[in-house]
Structure 1
Amino acid sequence: MKKSKVWLLIGFSVLLLGVIGGIVLGGQSASSIEYPEPPDEALKEKVNANIIHNENKWTTNNTHDGEIIKVDDTYYVFSTDYKVAGEPTPGIMVRKSTDLIHWEFIGRVFESVPEEAREWTNGASIFWAPDVVEMDGTFYLYYSVSEFGTKNSYIGLATSESIEGPWQDEGEVFKTTISDDYKVNAIDPGIIFDRDENPWMVFGSYQGGIFITELDRNTGKLKQPGDEGTLIANRGSQDHQALEGPAIIFNEDTDMFYLTVSYGWLEDTYNVRVGRSTDITGPYTDYNGNDLVDIQTNTGSPDVGTKIVGPYMFDNDSGWQGTGHNGLLKDGDDYFLIHNARAGHDIFWSHLHVRKMVWTEDGWPVVSPQRYAGEVEQPISEKDVVGEWEKIVVDRLFDDMRSSRALTLHKNGKVNDTDGEDYWELSGDNTITIYESIGNGEFMTTSAIVLPAWDWENWNETIVFTGLDDTGTAIWGKKVE
């Protein structure tokens, strides 16, 4: 064979391999995206009756009202006593992980509710909504016990030299009864430090709203005993307007405090709202400037608080309900939000969800539409964005499950209709802006961050976007091509 023919065959083979590679990779063979590794397939299970009585296999199952802390290279989640299909063993559940994806159930803090708390709450036998922080080499665990549906509630404190215990009960931090003059309900404690590293406790629920009060760093208890502090969130004077699960995080880049709370019922409509403030004691306002202390309307309006997580359903899946009561974590330069989530087809199966939290250009937190799988924020190219997507509008006016709808981002910059007025553009490393015509030459814009992700519904790598539109409504997208 002549030399020229050899080179011709080699060149043809290389070209053929390139074409095949492009087909196999869906036309994205040149993509340089670093995707997360596939999680353990056991985590696909939303409902698994075989593990009900085997705590070693619970992983994310039976997690409710979780709060998260990182100690050295390990993450810990402390959560409410909960068990599907039966009474939970009391004691504050503890799980740990080295990657925020695969979780190991490691036991409980106590064997029973301390006598003082049990007597105050007329025999309540389980713990609710703990939080744990480290101060000066000691771990402080705040727990709550309550007579269900009343203000007979008790927040207590336990301490330990090790995050895995043993724990010493230190007794009362704050307590309330149905007959006292306090507005707040002593439940759902969350600890946050101000700019000077002074500790504060945000707490409360349905009855009376969310309050914040300062703690004594030496004791971990109230700086001024009996002081309920300052009201920072409320849903009006109507009874049983769901509001609970407060948490606060500080962002040094924006120099602001962010308060998250949950609206809705824990089994289905649970959702997470956020407001921000330059001062730890508020006022906290949402994207539209509404004060989270919503007492001026007395309506319990769902339009207050920027909604960043809510019940949702992508295609090929039953979705998730009860997506509320969150915890917050700053881990180096990364931020994470954890929350409950209940299987769309069985509301009794509650799981731990961890989501990467990123920040819009104007300083608002938004979260990934997909559970965290190890993804890293990175530059995204236009060719990676072009294709078929699913879009979810996390509507702040409706707390029921939001379903996805099709979205096409064309190569020519158009959205859905190649000849229509709607269009999109990519700017910076990974910011997409979508322009949707509302007539008369005006557009509703959505600015979102594009991230690699693991597609938990279709079990493959993908990219997603998360952001806010001009009204402060969260918009999620997932590429499905």
Structure 2
Amino acid sequence: MASMALIVVAYSCKDDEVSSDLPVIEEEEQQDVLADYKGPVYADDYSAIASWENRSSWNLANVHDPSVVSDGKYYYMYGTDASYGNALEGHGHFPYKKSKDLVNWDFEGTAMAATPDWVKDTLNNMRTRVGLDPIADPVFGHWAPVVRKVGDKYRMYYSIVVDNFIGNGLPNTEANFDNTWTERAFIGMMETSSPLLNDWEDKGMVVCSVSDRGTDWSRSSTGDWSGYFKYNAIDPSLVVTPEGEHWLVYGSWHSGIAALQLNPETGLPLNEFDVNDESTWGTTIYTRNSSSRWQASEGPEIIYNEETDYYYLFLAYDELSVAYNTRVCRSRNITGPYEGFDGSAVIGKDCFPIITHPYAFNNHSGWVGISHCCVFQNEETGDWYYSSQGRLPANTNSNAYSNAIMMGHVRKIRWTEDGWPVVMPERYTAVPEKEITEDEFVGSWEQITLNYARGTQQSSVALSLSSDHKATGALTGTWSFDAANKVLTIGSLELCVERELDWEASPRELTIVFSGLNSSGVSIWGKKN
């Protein structure tokens, strides 16, 4: 897709979405509060402390595909087993951390000690029914859990991928390839009364990958991506409707994303799941390409925002190591149709807005692989947050393997007047609330337009705001600031403003940032130098 030129247009931020986790400080106290503020000092390149022995120092190191839930006292972040140098290998599955402030995180261990027996048993029962030999020692991957509070319980839906070829049952390597696809994936569920106790009770299978191609599991080559399974049973997300319905949204690549209604009491499918009955697999709610199973979209995250009365479907586009970028679409109904920024249905095509993309501000390597997000709300303040991994580009600090460094990112979300989420360009650090004044905007800025450029980081362009309210450089026109709603207007472009930490500065220091959407549904990010 060609890069899009910036066309400025007004999309103002809702003034009821600008509260903070921290109380507003009285005016005479504000300066002292900011003067005493100390932001995180841990390094983005955590390679020196990546080993298991240093896990007490990780903070947000070794985070991939996070899911965040709160018990009212702590936030808990769960994720995929992936880690730099495979530091987590042999220590259980679905690592998790806890935090009181979304800034400082303690590594707590793993939520699953060992792969449940039902996975291997179910896999081999299914293989036996179609005349295949059982696999004695399947290769399992543990991916992308989602955790939600449901009544007085917490439910985790998790993915377990079987990485063996269907035909010969051997591990997925080039040498073992037998012109068949790899085996199915499973989504299971477990419950606990308290994430603090970490005493999860497994409830078994919810769904598994299913095929509409019978026993024709042939694959012409490892470059064939037409997909034997219709739905790939990974990347679960859960949403509860205002009417109390529970829906599992899941899928990756293949035929797209499906929504399956669950029984609220059990957390399992409302209607019994049957691998031979397509009507029990769920309803397709998004596919990037209706004519192909080469989707390059995955990681659905589904939320309902009662303020806008929309369901929002966040999607990860492209491969995860570099090109990952986040899109969002919305619908009045859980099963769709989902619409993009221009108001048209998105099924079968790319969707906008783009709310994250590989990028780099000055004085830093920047970040790639920023997607497969979770989106969550502080129910007391109403504030919304976006969390995902971010990867360092290859050869950062002369490290050929730096692209495997996965740092957890937490960023604040604001909402435009038209009800679209925008993500802040700097990571959240619980900066105390102090009124932002108009004179603070005067000076030099860096501005980034997150146009889609697959595998390429978008870099910053100089922007200047003058004391006589003129903008020059990356954006032009007259500028003004609405302090009550924390909205900066440049020309007709309206931008949500926050005071955040400048992570690229050395030493790190406080700054002002903005985020908004242009007329094409592409995020516009800015940071005061």
Q: TM-score, normalised by structure 2?
A: 0.77
Amino acid at match of 2:313: L
Alignment of 1:271-350 (within 5 A): 271-294=325-348, 301=350, 304-332=351-379, 333-344=382-393, 345=396, 346-350=402-406
For residues 154 and 180 of structure 1, the distance between their equivalents in structure 2, rounded to whole angstroms, comes to: 18
Q: Deviations over 1:371-429 (max 9, x none)?
A: 000136775332111111000111135452111111101111211269x9633222352
Tell me what 1:158 maps to: 190
Tell me what 2:283 maps to: 230
Tell me what 2:246 maps to: 199
Contact 1:283 1:291 in 2 (8 A): yes
Amino acid at match of 2:378: D
Amino acid at match of 1:133: R
For residues 263 and 382 of structure 1, the distance between their equivalents in structure 2, rounded to whole angstroms, comes to: 37
Tell me what 1:258 maps to: 312
For residues 399 and 393 of structure 1, the distance between their equivalents in structure 2, rounded to whole angstroms, comes to: 15
For residues 183 and 295 of structure 2, the distance between their equivalents in structure 1, rounded to whole angstroms, comes to: 15
Amino acid at match of 2:101: D
Q: Deviations over 1:401-460 (max 9, x none)?
A: 111111101111211269x9633222352111222xxxxxxxxx4221111001111100
Q: Deviations over 1:235-287 (max 9, x none)?
A: 10334331111111111211111110100111101111101111111111111
Tell me what 2:61 maps to: 61
Give the 3 Å change call, closer, same or farther, for CA 407–118 of structure 1 in structure 2: farther
Q: 2:208 pairs with 175, 200, 211, which one?
A: 175
The more displaced of 201-210 and 123-132 is: 123-132
For residues 172 and 229 of structure 1, the distance between their equivalents in structure 2, rounded to whole angstroms, comes to: 15
Tell me how far 1:141 sits from its aligned partner: 1.2
Tell me what 2:417 maps to: 361
Q: Deviations over 1:170-208 (max 9, x none)?
A: 111001245667621111111111012321111000011
For residues 394 and 138 of structure 1, the distance between their equivalents in structure 2, rounded to whole angstroms, comes to: 39
Contact 2:142 2:160 in 1 (8 A): yes
Tell me how far 1:147 sits from its aligned partner: 2.7
Tell me how far 1:350 sits from its aligned partner: 0.5
Instruction: Let me know the Cα RMSD of the aligned residues.
Output: 2.4
Q: Bigger relative contact order, structure 1 or 2, given CA contacts below 8 A and separation 6+? A: 2
Contact 2:250 2:258 in 1 (8 A): yes
* Structure 2 counterpart SS, 1:85: helix
**Is 1:465 the counterpart of 2:465 in the alignment?**
no
**Is 1:138 the counterpart of 2:153 in the alignment?**
yes
Give the 3 Å change call, closer, same or farther, for CA 180–387 of structure 1 in structure 2: same
Contact 1:306 1:396 in 2 (8 A): no
Tell me what 1:270 maps to: 324
Amino acid at match of 1:113: T
Give the 3 Å change call, closer, same or farther, for CA 250–399 of structure 1 in structure 2: farther
**Is 1:75 the counterpart of 2:122 in the alignment?**
no
Q: Work out the percentage of aligned pairs sharing the same amino acid.
A: 32
Tell me what 1:400 maps to: 456
Tell me what 1:187 maps to: 234
Alignment of 1:390-469 (within 5 A): 390-396=446-452, 398=454, 400-416=456-472, 422-427=477-482, 429=484, 430-435=486-491, 445-458=492-505, 459-469=508-518
Tell me what 2:408 maps to: 352
Tell me what 2:444 maps to: 388
Contact 2:159 2:186 in 1 (8 A): yes
Contact 2:330 2:339 in 1 (8 A): yes
**Is 1:93 the counterpart of 2:95 in the alignment?**
yes
For residues 109 and 37 of structure 1, the distance between their equivalents in structure 2, rounded to whole angstroms, comes to: 34
The more displaced of 450-459 and 276-285 is: 276-285
Amino acid at match of 2:495: A
Which of the two has higher C-alpha Rg?
A: 1
For residues 337 and 182 of structure 2, the distance between their equivalents in structure 1, rounded to whole angstroms, comes to: 27
Amino acid at match of 1:478: K
For residues 33 and 477 of structure 1, the distance between their equivalents in structure 2, rounded to whole angstroms, comes to: 26
Tell me how far 1:95 sits from its aligned partner: 0.7
* Structure 2 counterpart SS, 1:347: helix
Runs of 5+ consecutive residues of structure 1 not aligned to the other structure: 1-30, 296-300, 436-444
Tell me how far 1:99 sits from its aligned partner: 0.5
Q: TM-score, normalised by structure 1?
A: 0.85
For residues 293 and 34 of structure 1, the distance between their equivalents in structure 2, rounded to whole angstroms, comes to: 49
Tell me how far 1:354 sits from its aligned partner: 0.2
Tell me what 1:28 maps to: none
The more displaced of 253-262 and 149-158 is: 149-158
Contact 1:77 1:95 in 2 (8 A): yes
The more displaced of 224-233 and 200-209 is: 224-233
Amino acid at match of 1:69: V
Tell me what 1:106 maps to: 108
Tell me how far 1:97 sits from its aligned partner: 0.5
Amino acid at match of 2:347: V
Q: Deviations over 1:98-118 (max 9, x none)?
A: 010111110111222112224
Amino acid at match of 2:187: I
Tell me how far 1:47 sits from its aligned partner: 3.1
Contact 2:49 2:58 in 1 (8 A): no
Bigger strand fraction: 1
Amino acid at match of 2:341: Y
Amino acid at match of 2:56: N
Give the 3 Å change call, closer, same or farther, for CA 150–32 of structure 1 in structure 2: farther
For residues 209 and 255 of structure 1, the distance between their equivalents in structure 2, rounded to whole angstroms, comes to: 24
Q: Deviations over 1:12-54 (max 9, x none)?
A: xxxxxxxxxxxxxxxxxxx97975932231x223233333232
Q: Deviations over 1:212-238 (max 9, x none)?
A: 111101101011122222211111033
Tell me what 2:119 maps to: 117
Amino acid at match of 1:175: C
Contact 1:260 1:273 in 2 (8 A): yes
For residues 434 and 340 of structure 2, the distance between their equivalents in structure 1, rounded to whole angstroms, comes to: 28
For residues 353 and 468 of structure 1, the distance between their equivalents in structure 2, rounded to whole angstroms, comes to: 21
Amino acid at match of 1:235: R
